[in-house]
Amino acid sequence: MKAPPEAPPPLPAALAALTGQGVAAIDTPAAVIDLDAMERNLARMAAFARTHGVRLRPHAKMHKSAFLARLQMQAGAVGVCVQKTSEAEALAAAGVTDIYISNEVIDPARLQRVAALAQRLQAAGGRLAMAVDSLEGIVRLAAAVESHTTSGQALLDVFVEIDVGQGRCGVPPGEAAVALAQAIAAQPVLRFAGLQAYHGRAQHQRGVAERRDAIARAAQAVQDTRARIEAAGVEVPLVTGAGTGTFALETASGVWGELQAGSYLFMDADYAANAHDPAQPAFEHALFVKSQVISVNAAHAVCDAGHKSHAIDSGLPRVHGLPGQPPLTFANGGDEHGILHPPDGSALPGLGDTVWLIPGHCDPTVNLHDHLIGVRGGLEHGTVERIIRVDARGALT
Amino acid sequence: MKAPPEAPPPLPAALAALTGQGVAAIDTPAAVIDLDAMERNLARMAAFARTHGVRLRPHAKMHKSAFLARLQMQAGAVGVCVQKTSEAEALAAAGVTDIYISNEVIDPARLQRVAALAQRLQAAGGRLAMAVDSLEGIVRLAAAVESHTTSGQALLDVFVEIDVGQGRCGVPPGEAAVALAQAIAAQPVLRFAGLQAYHGRAQHQRGVAERRDAIARAAQAVQDTRARIEAAGVEVPLVTGAGTGTFALETASGVWGELQAGSYLFMDADYAANAHDPAQPAFEHALFVKSQVISVNAAHAVCDAGHKSHAIDSGLPRVHGLPGQPPLTFANGGDEHGILHPPDGSALPGLGDTVWLIPGHCDPTVNLHDHLIGVRGGLEHGTVERIIRVDARGALT
């Protein structure tokens, strides 16, 4: 039985009217998806997972969209990850039924929501999973889940997060993880599902050799931890982790059984700055911010996109030059503006000219937009095919 | 006649149920307003404007809220500024009738919306204004406005933006501005309202002397430009500009007749890092992000607030220590996490502990949140009094 998705609110009229129109009709600034490029990325990642016999559970914290989650699952993904309970709720409400909160939840009231969602997804033939990194977290989670199940059967898959180099959440590899795995296994309403091992820092190391070394160390830590847990009599069904910067390395290690890459679908300027690992498929930029020149003076032009239309935690956006356009550089113009400089001696763009930007970081850029405008046929002459709702935009809790 | 505000969508049930509850009930992360501090800021700024005989038109790009705009106008503000047409539309739909788009609009379709909004506001007894910095912008604006007026009377106030040091939009002070003022004055459907002169860079210069020098140079440029425009036979009714970092300087110059400060209402870590100018009232932090510790290890604690709950363009947030708490430092934990370090030798916070953050920059932080939670009686023991809708959140175009 599938849970019927809740009816989403209707699209604003101006957005609904965009479908079928040319890209020129898209008001600026707007987050635009090159659907052709995105579908090639989707197919390349799906083929990689299929060829290498590894599960793919893309991170939906990136796109926050039930439509895109379903597209990924139709292409072979087993489900999606999220970071927040409210993201899981928003995607579940829009019909996604296999969701992993790859993050810790500690608040008792929020754990009640986790348990209620686990019950709804199970009733819909799906599944919820969550990560933990403390005994207190396990005890609180079990208490919440117990109040939501009458069968006594495990309602929730639980992964123990180990810190394999990210330096954020997670217990250290080794004995600390054994104790948590045993504690989960001792709770009838929880199922110990394996290890969460994500090396976030390695994703953005520029050199292939640096990334290879980082993931080799992480793999050793995971293997050692798994061996200790199994020696304690607890089976480790799965190791899940990896991102767009390193997933071929986790896959080649044979240690990870599930990949959580998310950015591959849209790509961004930061991931594109990594040296390409030939073991990975090449991905294309599919997320752009369409902007427009609103002011021109002797020194520069100014476009209408700033920090409120793209995130800058991984650097300012790059200008995506279309054929025949001089390469512009983008400088910080604050929340609502970008300052554009042409190469020495080149002409400035004119008032009203369109300027396409490639955001530094896709995840927090998408989170600034309620909708993504899906274009078919390229950024120059394409047509709006679909408005993609960012169902979990602003889902922070 | 006042335009009846459109009925806003109902609050999510979980938010509506918060009113009357203690701060402990606020789920994390959330943007929380200390209403007592905010009202003191509101009153101090209103008193400054009243005492100095200068108009106050706060920048609503900061809070994007019709409720707060009305509160500012009830305290004496003449209206509000915005940066975007869609912000103006969202605030107008929620009942704000005197709005100045202190930015350039160049797209013909969007100028049609500007003209339509000007007509609606005029019919409601209010007024719309806009900035321009090009002849092309004036011609396009006039064409759009002509198609929306039958009276032949001026439907829109237009300011010429001059660049007084910001290095972004605006024509250079002097003759270029004269030509634009004359061009506006020649359009019957437009009213030349004066000069837009905002020195954004000066706002964040740390020393009082640096800010004084910057605004002194800006004042000279404005005076020279005004004299030239008036010598050409065009009256300059008003000079508008200034921000939270410098408004006492613009006021003291006697050149500016209207202040656009916005951040004073909430304050942020960046403005608080400025050396205080004793000519200005002191403002208190009123915007906080409530977060919660979700992971603790030997080295640090991790809270559940990252780049998706606060903007980092002006630096990471500061931890707001409550009485008796050790001062924690906040390090970058990515989109959904913050990493907390205590002073040497101090204990780490515990799982589930509340951590209050002061964002680096209020404007783009507010833009991440659909609602602000207004608390009365302080962050420690206060009660949720009101949920403030961020009406123009994500209004980018």
Summarised one tens digit per residue, pLDDT across range B207-264 is: 999 999 999 999 999 999 999 999 999 999 999 999 999 999 999 999 999 999 999 9
Q: Distance from first CA to last CA of chain B, Å, rounded?
A: 28
Q: Which two tokens stand for residue A99?
A: 């969701």
Say yes or no for a CB contact (<8 Å) between B397 and A84.
no
- With an 8 Å Cβ cutoff, are B302 and A168 in contact? yes
Closest CB to A307 among B137, B311, B332: B311
H/E stretch holding B16 reads helix B13-16
* CB burial of residue A40 (10 Å; 0-12, 13-18, 19+): middle
What is the pairing mode between strands A258-259 and A55-56?
parallel
pLDDT digits (tens, 9 = 90+) for A58-79: 999 999 999 999 999 999 999 9
User: What gap in Å lies between CA B65 and CA B71, rounded to an integer?
Assistant: 10
Lowest mean pLDDT among A116-130, A214-228, A335-349, B366-380: A335-349
Of A292, A334, A397, the CB nearest to B107: A292
Q: Which of B168, B294, B313 sits opposite A106 (nearest CB)?
A: B294
Question: What distance in Å separates residue A137's CA from the closest CA in chain B?
Answer: 9
A209-213, B12-16, B98-102, B172-176: least confident range: B12-16
pLDDT beyond 70 at B266: yes
CA neighbor of B134 nearest in space, from B185, B190, B179, B200? B179
- In this predicted structure, what is the pLDDT of residue A10? 86
CB B79 within 8 A of CB B57: yes
- The pair phi, psi for residue A200, each rounded to 5°, is -65, -40
> In this predicted structure, what is the pLDDT of residue A6?
60
Averaged pLDDT of chain A: 96
pLDDT band at B150 (very low <50, low <70, confident <90, very high): confident
Q: Indicate if the pLDDT at residue A393 is higher than 80.
A: yes
Report the C-alpha gap between B230 and B176 in whole angstroms: 14
Cα B376 to Cα B103: distance, rounded to the nearest angstrom: 35
Tokens of B222: 């404005």
- List the single residue in B103, B294, B397 with the smallest CB-CB distance to A28: B397
Q: What is the pLDDT of residues A305-361, one digit of tens each?
A: 999 999 999 999 999 988 877 789 999 999 999 999 998 888 899 999 999 999 999
- Cβ pair A80, A91 in contact under 8 A: yes
Judge whether A112 and A106 are in contact, CB under 8 Å: no
Is the distance from CB of A270 to CB of A310 less than 8 angstroms?
no
Task: Judge contact between B181 and B138, C-beta under 8 A.
Answer: no
pLDDT at position B3 is 41
* DSSP structure class, residue A163: -
* Calpha distance A161→A97 (Å, rounded): 22
Q: Cα angle vertex B285, ends B309, B371, to 5°?
A: 40
- CB-count exposure of residue A153 (10 Å: 0-12, 13-18, 19+): exposed
Angle ∠(A101,A105,A107) on CA atoms, nearest 5: 145
CA-CA-CA-CA torsion sign (B21, B23, B27, B31): positive
Listed residue (A226, A310, A323, A235) closest to A269, CA to CA: A310
Contacts of A392 in chain B (CB under 8 A): none
Q: How confident is the model at residue A5 (pLDDT cuts 50, 70, 90)?
A: low
As to burial, measured by CB atoms within 10 angstroms (0-12 exposed, 13-18 middle, 19+ buried), residue A362 is buried
> Which uninterrupted H or E stretch holds B98?
strand B98-101
- Determine the average pLDDT of the residues in B84-93: 98
pLDDT at A324: 77
Burial class of residue A56 in the structure, from the number of CB atoms within 10 Å of its CB (0-12 exposed, 13-18 middle, 19+ buried): buried
Alpha helical stretches, state H, chain A: 13-16, 35-52, 66-74, 85-93, 108-123, 135-146, 175-185, 200-203, 208-231, 247-253, 269-272, 362-366
Task: Note whether B106 contacts A136, CB cutoff 8 Å.
Answer: no
- Do the Cβ atoms of A106 and B352 come within 8 Å? yes
What is the reported pLDDT for A155?
93
Q: Which of A168, A169, A199 to mutate to test the interface with B (most CBs of B within 10 A)?
A: A168
Q: Note whether B335 contacts A297, CB cutoff 8 Å.
A: no
Give the pLDDT band of residue A4 (cuts 50, 70, 90): very low
Which of B86, B106, B332 to mutate to probe the A interface, most A CBs <10 Å?
Answer: B106
Answer yes or no: is pLDDT of A178 > 50: yes
**Cα-trace Rg, chain A:** 22
The predicted structure's pLDDT at residue B151? 81
**Strand B127-132 relative to strand A30-34, pairing:** unpaired
- Which stretch of A172-176, A294-298, B285-289, B344-348 has the lowest confidence by average pLDDT? B344-348
User: Which amino acid is it at A83?
Assistant: Q
- B263 CB-near residues (< 8 Å, 6+ apart): B59, B62, B243, B244, B271, B362, B363
Average pLDDT rounded to a whole number, residues A99-103: 98
Report how many Cβ contacts below 8 Å link chain A to chain B: 153
Helix (H) or strand (E) holding B183: helix B175-185
pLDDT at A154: 87
Mean of the pLDDT values across residues A134-149?
A: 96
Q: Say which residue, B170 or B2, is predicted with more confidence.
A: B170
Indicate if the pLDDT at residue A86 is higher than 80: yes
Residues recorded for chain A: 397
A366 to each of A146, A300, A329, B367, how far by Cα in Å? 36, 28, 22, 13
Cβ–Cβ of B334/A168 closer than 8 Å? yes
Q: Which residue of B has its CA nearest to A166?
A: B333
Q: How far is CA A27 from CA A18, A393, B129, in A?
A: 10, 20, 21
Cβ of A364 within 8 Å of Cβ of B335? The answer is yes
pLDDT digits (tens, 9 = 90+) for B126-147: 999 999 999 999 999 999 999 9
* Residue of chain B whose Cα is closest to the Cα of A333: B168
Give how far Cα B343 sits from Cα of A169, A253, B360, Å.
Answer: 20, 40, 21
pTM for this predicted structure: 0.96
Dihedral of the alpha carbons of B98, B104, B110, B114, in degrees to the nearest 10: 20
**Residues with Cβ within 8 Å of residue A41, at least 6 apart in sequence:** A264, A265, A266, A267, A283, A284, A286
Inter-chain residue contact A30 with B61, CB threshold 8 Å: no
pLDDT at position A9, please? Answer: 78
Pairing of strands B318-320, B354-358: antiparallel
Q: pLDDT tens digit string along B285-332?
A: 999 999 999 999 999 999 999 999 999 999 999 999 888 777 899 999
Residue of chain A nearest B136, judged by CA positions? A351
Asked if A83 lies within 8 A of B297 by C-beta distance, the reply is no
Q: Which of A84, A297, A337 sits opposite B171 (nearest CB)?
A: A297
Contact (CB<8Å) A351/B136:
yes
What average pLDDT does the structure give for chain B? 96
Tokens of B2: 């006042």
The answer to whether B335 contacts A107, with C-beta atoms less than 8 Å apart, is: no
pLDDT of residue A3 exceeding 60: no
